[in-house]
Amino acid sequence: MDDKTLKQLTRTLLLHAKGLGLPIGAAEVFIEKSLLTAKKTLSSHSVITENDVTRAVAKELRKYNSDLAYVYQNRDKII
């Protein structure tokens, strides 16, 4: 994952956090930690798919806020 992807993911996750009514300051902290850990996890892969990124980020987010992880993981499926 490059810096541009991380910025886009951060923006998307902050919008979801705001929609869920989470405190933005706290959300910024655990989103950053989640993305950095996911990036480290995926750095050993030679080919990274969108599903790999989604799974890794959702797994890390689940540690801090399961609702945000759920919304992120199912963002294209929720009506």
Q: What pLDDT tens digit does each residue of the chain (79 aa) get?
A: 788 989 999 999 999 999 999 999 999 999 999 999 999 999 998 999 999 999 999 999 999 999 999 999 998 886 6
Structural domains counted in the chain: 1
22 assigned to some structural domain: yes
78 assigned to some structural domain: no
For residue 2, the model assigns a pLDDT of 83
- Rounded to two decimals, the pTM is 0.87
21 assigned to some structural domain: yes
Cβ burial of 13 (10 Å; 0-12, 13-18, 19+) is buried
34 assigned to some structural domain: yes
Domain that holds residue 48: 3-73
33 assigned to some structural domain: yes
Length of the chain: 79
For residue 76, the model assigns a pLDDT of 80
